[in-house]
Structure 1
Amino acid sequence: MCDKQAEKAVNGRQAENTVNGRQAEEAVDVKQVKEVTEAPQKTYRNLITESHVKQALKAQQGSSAQLLSWTVTDFTNKGDNYACVVTSVDVCYHKEGNDRKTSFVVKCNPCRALSIFNEFSTAVFQKEAGYYLELLPLFNAQLSRGGCEPIRAPHCYFAHLTEQEEVIFLGDLRPEGFKMFDRMKGMDKAHAVLVLKELGKLHAASILCQKETSVVLEEKYTYIKKDFQSIIGDVDFKKMLTSEVENSAEIAERIGGYKKVVDWLKDFAPSSSDVFLEQIKKSPPFDVLCHGDCWNNNILFKYDETGVPVDVRLLDFQISRKASPATDLNYFMYTSFNGPERKDNLETFLNVYYESLREVLEAGGTKAEFTSQELREEYHKKNLFGLIMGMMVVPVVVSQAAEVMDLDDITDGDIETLVKEQRER
């Protein structure tokens, strides 16, 4: 009797073990399938690979440099960047018998769920990589032939442009003492002069390069032609600009005392996209390759021991375009200054820019095709462009990190709600 009960118990346990074993196998199978079908969530950090780091290191330090270790180190604040994520990579390497260190600033695709950003991100990375790797070397070679200094911009060591995985490795200027000016303060004359001299050189270099070839630059380097409107489409572009102008009208109305301004902005909003596109059309002889995004956050300065700015670097060529130089000037003036600083020094600023442009052109064996007075007239003709860009950028300039719209976790269905909430802030 006991033997039969024992046998029955053993058989029961075996059956139970068999069932449990099958369940365990099925669980493992499900887990394996899940691991195969569910790829790790893509983030900007895992876009950076060891292969990328090795290629950037080789470009910077030569083929004898052996990578020992690398670490991704974030250093920017929320609100500093929108079209990409800017981080850094700290590198330890061995070369010529010694262990050494270096670092890179790395721009990464932000990996956002918002579909409208996907095509935009791809386009701006193509533009910026092309600018660093093709256009800047072209411009600097031209400047060198005229005995001029190269354009002050970081060196690009590596770019990976697979769609939605884009990364660009740039030289890290922080160890040299370069840093961003506090965007909340508004630039002063000393900072502005350095920027305007560099813009004049940049524009002049593009003119000289265009004169040396019968091929139109934007036809050879087609990424130059990609712009806001061509990337996101006419309808969304119109919605975006209309919303920005309406937002400015609401802010002015809330402050009070600006009824004429409010009425004008509300009237202007529906046609703002048409005005924008008209303002960025080429208008010879005012035809240069512009920086396109020249404002405080895209400029770094170096200071002497007394705090005076002595050197500058231009960054972020993601929305460069062929247009009038007055668009770059208006963009800079309307986004990076307090009103009195801009108004009181406008003549000086335009003279500084023009003299830089003229000197570089003459060093390259040609003359400016417009006078300083004609530049002033062109600047004022493009004031509406500066106003539009100011309405888009200034809310970002004055926002604290906690007030900035968080684009990382939102989807297409959330965007209208978030824009409304952002306005209310």
Structure 2
Amino acid sequence: MCDKQEKGAVNGRQAEGAVNGKQADNAIERQQFEAVNEAPQNTYRSLITESHVKQALKAQQGSSAQLLSWTVTDFTNKGDNYACVVTSIDVRYHKEGKDRKTSIVAKCNPCHILPFFNEFSTIIFQKEVGYYLELLPLLNAQLSRVGCEPIRAPHCYFAHLTEQNEVIFLEDLRQEGFKMFDRMKGMDKAHAVLVLKELGKLHAASILYQKETSTVLEDKYTYIQKDFQSMFGEVNFKKMLVSYTENAAEIAERIVGYKKIADWLKDFASNSSDVFLEQIKKSPPFDVLCHGDCWINNLLFKYDETGVPVDVRLLDFQISRKASPATDLNYFMYTSFNGPERKDNLETFLNVYYESLREVLEAGGTKAEKTSQELREEYHKKNLFGLIMGMMVVPIVVTQAGEVMDLDDITDGDYETLVKEHRERMLKQLDSNPLLRPRLLSIFDEMLEYGVIS
């Protein structure tokens, strides 16, 4: 399994296109990139070319595979993806005397008209391709060395990184029976345990790598250092967090018994961006390579014949960062669960994660530097991060497909237009969507109980 994963990653090293318009020190940016002299593309479908499909096919099926035909077939729903468009390519090919069929997933630049999304798109594609083609092979090499299975993620076949024309070609996990969990239901214990075991393994692998080398991971692979502030710019980043916090405050203010929380959120809003940046700072020894975007939409599950989840795949490494593992845990907990499932199972969840981390570290001859109790304390130190991400993501999680804001409809606005539109939709959901209120209130209640909101 490890060999297959690493082979898929190596095949995907054919990434092309300049990242940020110049070559940098990491391996992706040192490659030879093809010149692109085409007019700007207008739709995500037009970004997928026959040349790309041929290269992805050969990476998947071998050099003898001959492309016969291909068709782009959409399969995701509105609201399943935001930073990119995920579609699929149905491929017919000839190999070993037979005509065959396969499918490949393509993640495409969404080609939004809004100019402030351009830098964001460039960075997230750079980060995700870097994770698939450089970081996962490093982590999986560590896991292989200590006799552990590789991180469960799709194979990356090929990536085209010309700015604003980015496409990543990935394994179509639907062919193996994987599917997305219904985000409206909220994560349950059986699914969460699979995810937390995988997060523990991922974090432990990064610790083993750092112990084996004097190279600082984020210094060598500089895209790791880029986060929301560099994606949106300092001004828009602050506006974004202030807006989400004020929206949450307005919701709390409209509900009897939550005025104290509303007042606290109003006071917190102006400082929210500084708190966010402080929460994601590296904090050794709690310092690992995080997934960064571990929520219910970025996970796929496989089930047995009785419907029990038996396997998981981690997706979308677009916001990976070096930070405390507690940021990944808080992100997952406060974006993907209904309140009772999160609170009632918290001790179990943290134990599952810690045991997975400990087992991999011990397999590598390393003891966990902190105890399980110290992990719990670190988890609660990062609850503010969980609060911020919950306020940002929960309204997206519970939004029905028909209510999702279409960025392409905002053709002549700026960031303030987007912020205003989001607020209006969120407040409307408070009355029309029965899922939003209980999920947000459960977060507020916990923050009050834990002393985060005082």
Partner in structure 2 of residue 6 of structure 1: none
Q: Tell me the SS of whatever aligns to 1:399.
A: coil
Displacement of 1:253: 2.1
| Letter matched to residue 208 of structure 2 | L
Task: Name the one with the larger helix percent.
Answer: 1
Displacement of 1:82: 1.0
**Structure 1 segments of 4+ aligned residues over 6 angstroms from their partners:** none
| Letter matched to residue 214 of structure 1 | S
1:207-252 CA distance string (max 9 Å, x none): 1111111110001111101111122222111111000000111122
1:72 pairs with 2:72: yes
Partner in structure 2 of residue 147 of structure 1: 147
Displacement of 1:175: 1.4
Measure, in 1, the Cα distance between the counterparts of 2:242 and 2:414: 19
| Letter matched to residue 134 of structure 1 | E
8 Å contact from structure 1 (residues 280, 327) kept in 2:
yes
Measure, in 2, the Cα distance between the counterparts of 1:412 and 1:192: 41
Measure, in 1, the Cα distance between the counterparts of 2:339 and 2:81: 24
Partner in structure 1 of residue 164 of structure 2: 164
1:63 pairs with 2:63: yes
Partner in structure 2 of residue 280 of structure 1: 280
1:236-284 CA distance string (max 9 Å, x none): 1111100000011112223333111111111111100010000000111
Partner in structure 1 of residue 120 of structure 2: 120
8 Å contact from structure 2 (residues 108, 166) kept in 1:
yes
Measure, in 2, the Cα distance between the counterparts of 1:45 and 1:379: 42
Partner in structure 1 of residue 322 of structure 2: 322
| Letter matched to residue 118 of structure 1 | N
Partner in structure 2 of residue 197 of structure 1: 197
Pairing 1:388-403 to 2, within 5 Å after superposition: 388-403=388-403
8 Å contact from structure 1 (residues 70, 90) kept in 2:
yes
Partner in structure 1 of residue 179 of structure 2: 179
Q: Tell me the SS of whatever aligns to 2:110.
A: coil
Gaps of 5+ in 2: 1-37, 429-454
Gaps of 5+ in 1: 1-37
8 Å contact from structure 1 (residues 127, 319) kept in 2:
yes
8 Å contact from structure 1 (residues 44, 85) kept in 2:
yes
Measure, in 2, the Cα distance between the counterparts of 1:116 and 1:255: 34
Displacement of 1:415: 4.3
Partner in structure 1 of residue 18 of structure 2: none
Partner in structure 1 of residue 374 of structure 2: 374
Displacement of 1:422: 3.0
Displacement of 1:179: 0.6
Measure, in 2, the Cα distance between the counterparts of 1:120 and 1:420: 20
8 Å contact from structure 1 (residues 106, 169) kept in 2:
yes
| Letter matched to residue 98 of structure 1 | K
Measure, in 1, the Cα distance between the counterparts of 2:228 and 2:392: 13
1:363-415 CA distance string (max 9 Å, x none): 11211111111100000000000000000000001111121111124246254
Pairing 1:3-402 to 2, within 5 Å after superposition: 42-402=42-402
Q: Tell me the SS of whatever aligns to 2:270.
A: helix
Measure, in 2, the Cα distance between the counterparts of 1:151 and 1:40: 37
8 Å contact from structure 1 (residues 110, 408) kept in 2:
no
Displacement of 1:39: 5.1
| Letter matched to residue 369 of structure 1 | E
Q: Tell me the SS of whatever aligns to 1:192.
A: helix
TM-score by length of 1: 0.89
TM-score by length of 2: 0.84
Q: Tell me the SS of whatever aligns to 1:408.
A: helix
Displacement of 1:83: 0.9
Q: 1:245 to 1:208 in 2, by over 3 A?
A: same
Q: Tell me the SS of whatever aligns to 2:328.
A: helix
| Letter matched to residue 43 of structure 2 | T
Displacement of 1:191: 0.5
Pairing 1:410-425 to 2, within 5 Å after superposition: 410-411=410-411, 413-424=413-424, 425=428
Q: Tell me the SS of whatever aligns to 1:300.
A: strand
Measure, in 1, the Cα distance between the counterparts of 2:419 and 2:76: 24
Pairwise CA RMSD of aligned residues?
1.3
Q: Tell me the SS of whatever aligns to 1:255.
A: coil
Measure, in 2, the Cα distance between the counterparts of 1:159 and 1:264: 45
Measure, in 1, the Cα distance between the counterparts of 2:422 and 2:231: 24
Pick the structure with greater CA Rg: 1
Percent identity, aligned pairs only, is 88
